[in-house]
Amino acid sequence: MADGLSLLETLTDTAIDSALGYEKAAEKATNAGLKGTLTSQASKRRNTVEALNAEIRRLGGEARTNGSTAGAAHRAFTTLADAFGDSNERAAERVEEGEDYIEKKFREALDKDDFTPETRAVVQNAHREISEGEKLTDRLEEQFD
């Protein structure tokens, strides 16, 4: 169970990073449609974070709020990289890269046997939302590339 809680906390940190990434990309986007889509995705991801945090609390842990150190470093790097190129293209690329990463991380976590059935159901629901986001960002990257 402790391993499951630790893994759930790591996944939640990654989901927070993802929400922050969507929010940052929405700030950079100049296309109104793209900006709206990214803002909507950020909201969905925040809801996913809340569901994951609820499960962490149910397991006796403390809710996660800050994301990961690696996520913070990635956001700092992308801020530098965003200084070059079209802001809409960069925003779409950044969220697409992030969604590929988070989808893989959740999929690999589900391949392990670290979760109780209740926790597994929460992580599976989160993975579904993330998979939908990953497909959407693939389309966005194609549209703005």
Over the chain, what is the mean pLDDT? Answer: 87
Comparing CA positions, the residue from 129, 16, 4 lying closest to residue 60 is 4
Structure tokens, 76: 């700092």
Cα separations in angstroms, 123 against 57, 127, 145: 14, 6, 32
pLDDT in tens, 72-88: 544 444 554 454 457 88
Q: Which residue would you say has higher pLDDT here, 55 or 80?
A: 55
pLDDT in tens, 114-137: 999 999 999 999 999 999 999 999
pLDDT in tens, 88-104: 888 888 889 889 999 99
State the burial class of residue 19 (Cβ atoms within 10 Å of its Cβ: 0-12, 13-18, 19+).
Answer: buried
For residues 18 and 36, what is the distance between their CA atoms, to the nearest angstrom?
16
Confidence of residue 9 (pLDDT cuts 50, 70, 90): very high
Contact 75, 24 (CB under 8 A): yes
pTM: 0.87
